[in-house]
Structure 1
Amino acid sequence: MASSHVAALALLVSVLLLSSARVSSGGRTLLELYKPPASELLQYHNGAVLQGHIPVSIIWYGKFTPAQKAVVTDFLQSLTTASSAPTPSVSQWWNTINQLYLSKAKAVKNAVPAQMALAGQVTDAACSLGKRLTLAQLPALAARAKPKKGGIALVLTAQDVAVDGFCMSRCGLHGSDARAGTTYVWVGNAATQCPGQCAWPFHKPIYGPQTPALVPPSGDVGVDGMVMNIASMVAGTVTNPFRDGFYQGDKDAPLEAATACPGVYGSGAYPGFAGNLAVDRTTGASYNANGANGRKFLLPALYDPASGACSTLV
């Protein structure tokens, strides 16, 4: 159902998206910064993108605390251009996707900005399919969230749930059902399985420069790591939902809007250094975006197809 992609990148914990014949999937792996030749830069392939009202339905697979759920739902509520959060904000980050990608999708007539909306939540705390999942089981889990056409089902697995390839080649993935017009994103909580890989820079990396870990905004390394990966996967889903939108390289192993800028969160980033970030004076937490309910988040840089540069909020 899915195939992982390996780029010529080492020394840096980062996120990559994967694809298959019917499913686009994504992962996070150790890579080094690599700048491809101009002929291989991220391009638009004349396919569909998601736009307008995008309902997001969540299925919580495994045990999540109310506090953990609140971090994720606050992030999703922050993905709107109508957000009143102070700058730099999550809504600014989201509007960058609208400006760099969705407004330039020629296949979409009269394109309107994408607006996320939390449509519902389902909890499977008992892990009815077990605590070891295959990639083939993820679409079935996504279906339980009952995504609407043009919407996204968000499958989130708890820290004691293993998913094939988790930590080894991916921290999340995104897929789709082109016939139904629905998409899904899966992201796992890596707090006890591989925080140095899927929650970097909030944990020392497994490989590469052993720089000190940053303080996570919510105080929960696993959940703040999930938000970073959710952001990357959602960016890829919206701009390349059915494998014919915006991507770079092989469509079965693409780099997409966020994963084309691996490990970059602020200006001046380089392998082992996430970039120049804002720091909360009270908690010492590092972040680059303000969100709903006073939350702070760390979001990945977005690739600018026009300039070939990584766009950061700070």
Structure 2
Amino acid sequence: MSKNHGVYEAAKLSFTGVGDKDVYNISAPFEDEGELVIAGRVESRDSEHSEVYFFVERNGEWVPREGAPVLTLQDPFYTRIGQELIVGGVETFPHPKKEHALMWRTCLYRGKDMAHLKPFFMGPDGMKDLRLIELHDGTIGVFTRPQWKGRRGGRGKIGFLQVSSLDELTNKAIVEAPLLDQQFFDSAWGGANEAHRLKGGRIGVLGHIACYDKQERRYYPMVFTLDPKTGEHTDIELIAVRANFIPGPSKRPDLQDVVFSGGLLRHEDGTATLYAGIGDAEAQRITIEDPFIRYDKLYL
């Protein structure tokens, strides 16, 4: 793993209209009905019960979009498949076996635009970081993250499968998806956060890798590429660390070094903007060298 992507600029994002709650683990901005929108996790500092709001920028601040849905989810993400907007996040619910504990699953919504989003798929219990991407041939790539301690996935590893349409997405296929080889040590874990189509048919994956260090959780933004035809993938590369961002608060002391990848906007000048949640308490962005540009250049 390497950290060779220069950082040119860092900025905090200002969110209003949600009282004293924090907004973090945001998506990158995406267009809906001609307007840029950011999805963000909204949560009280002393709680894990969150909602996803959709924000638009007004006079340098991001405010809840009037009439937009509010979803009872964590860690939102989006993609587009065909003519549809796909939005997802993590739903929590009481653990079926452990008292005073939570279980989680990824929930997906679809619609021609945000106003028409409807739930259509619920992933396996215990699985976060389920991500979809429409591939060059029209099929759908699915990134999974099984997380069963002592069993397949351990603390959390990335799997991948392809389906021909959204209607073929099943929990059985997701649970049985092959895992990508040798990405994480057993003491570390990670997941995909966003997928990008690259030239030549490869997929560029923005994700996170995490570990414990002296009772602290450390999350790092990372990238790799995958050939969906062969399953061949590049090694994980770190693209930023907490020190690249502006100092700020964290939800708890052990979360100070958490950077949760939200989304990556690639620019024509060879840079990219990384949107991230910081310390489970705030949202920031940094401008870096585009980590995928060298793969696109192979096909110029």
TM-score interval, normalised by the smaller of the two chains: 0.3 to 0.5
TM-score (norm 2): 0.33
TM-score (norm 1): 0.32
Of Structure 1 and Structure 2, the greater strand share is in 2
Q: Which of structures 1 and 2 has the larger relative contact order (alpha carbons within 8 angstroms, sep 6+)?
A: 1
Of Structure 1 and Structure 2, the greater helix share is in 1
